[in-house]
Structure formats: C-alpha cells, structure tokens
C-alpha cells in the first residue's frame, strides 16, 4: 500500500498542464498507477488523476461498482487511461452534481457532454478506445480536465449550485437540479 496525500484546490501544481507519458511498461509507471489505486480506494473516490497526488503526468484512473449509495452513478469499468483524448459524439450536454477529492466536502453542478468517445493507452502501451455516456462520460471528462489544470468549480455555470455537502443536504432547493436526489449522497468524488 502506498496511499499518497491528495493535493487540495489552492495547490499551484493542480493548475498546470500535465506532460504526456513517453515510456510505457516501466516500473515507475506501474508504481504510479498502483499508488493512484491505493489512494483512490482509501479516499472512497470514483476517479483520480496523477496531478492530484503531485505527479504532473497525463495518467488518470477511474471506476466504481454500482452502489446503492449512488443510485445515479451506475457502474463504471475500472480503467487506467494514459495520454487520453476525448471526442464528443453529439452536442448534448447534461447538468449533474460533481465532487472532487481535491475539493473535499463540496459538490457543484457542472454541465458535461453526455456522449463521448475516449482514447488513450494502458500502462503497457496497448490502445484503449471506448464509447461512453452519462456518468461514465462525466467521470472521464472530469479526470481529463485535471490533466489540463482545470478543477470542476471553474466549470460551474450557476454558483448557487455549489456548496458544502452538509449545507446542500439541508437545503431542498439544491436538489431540484437532479430530480430531488441529494447531491452529497448521490455523487462520489472523483
């Protein structure tokens, strides 16, 4: 186990563009990915980007089982994605609650493309090429934003829909955006 500290918003390196991975199938890359899984598991996250543990390389991981705690967050395959690119498959966007391990205890409503194709590589350098929609597509867009130094609060269009989980739970109007569901209870941090 190598659980790393997750950097929090305010840390300058979270705002940097991360570098491409140039060498695959290395012990260093395997170690990075293992540390990321350990850290994500420890923090109960559904995704993590390498810059969140202080490594500015274009590496993200994500995945979650379907969990009754997160009824609006269906299972996402456990995936390691290196040097990712995203192609949008339609102009359709959907507003939904998001959380981030680098912005602990908060949730905000962000619009994301509903249908995407993402491509990249696994740690051995094998290509990854998938079509994703809904929550799966949202997580990929959130994680890839980290690689360009973008944290989700800068994508919130209406700052009334940004707040601390505890307060959001106590304020019913906050739930309207997601059909009455509770943002803190339905949104895993990524």
Binding-site residue total for Ni ion (CB under 5 A)? 2
List active site positions.
143
Site string for Ni ion, 171-190 (x = CB under 5 A): -------------------x
Could you say whether residue 57 binds Ni ion (CB under 5 A)?
no
Could you say whether residue 100 binds Ni ion (CB under 5 A)?
yes
Extract the tokens encoding 80.
């390691």
Could you say whether residue 59 binds Ni ion (CB under 5 A)?
no
Extract the tokens encoding 40.
């994500």
CB of 156 to Ni ion, least distance (A): 13
Could you say whether residue 53 binds Ni ion (CB under 5 A)?
no
CB of 126 to Ni ion, least distance (A): 25
Contacts with 178 (C-beta within 8 Å, 6 or more apart), sequence order: 72, 96, 97, 109, 186
Torsion of CA 121, 122, 125, 129, to 10 degrees: -40
Q: Is residue 140 within 8 Å of 84, Cβ to Cβ?
A: yes
Interface residue list for Ni ion (CB under 5 A): 100, 190
């Amino acid at each position: 186990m190598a659980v790393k500290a997750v950097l929090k918003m305010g840390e300058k390196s979270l705002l940097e563009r991360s570098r491409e991975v140039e060498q695959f199938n290395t012990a260093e890359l395997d170690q990075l990915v293992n540390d990321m899984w350990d850290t994500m598991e420890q923090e109960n996250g559904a995704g993590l980007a390498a810059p969140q543990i202080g490594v500015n390389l274009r590496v993200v991981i994500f995945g979650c089982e379907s969990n009754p705690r997160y009824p609006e967050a269906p299972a996402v395959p456990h995936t390691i994605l290196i040097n990712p690119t995203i192609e949008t498959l339609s102009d359709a966007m959907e507003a939904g609650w998001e959380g981030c391990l680098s912005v602990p205890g908060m949730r905000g409503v962000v619009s994301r493309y509903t249908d995407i194709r993402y491509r990249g590589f696994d740690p051995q350098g094998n290509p990854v090429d998938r079509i994703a929609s809904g929550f799966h597509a949202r997580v990929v867009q959130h994680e890839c934003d980290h690689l360009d130094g973008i944290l989700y609060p800068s994508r919130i269009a209406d700052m009334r829909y940004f707040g601390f989980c505890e307060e959001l739970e106590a304020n019913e109007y906050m739930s309207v955006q997601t059909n009455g569901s509770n943002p803190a209870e339905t949104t895993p941090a990524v």
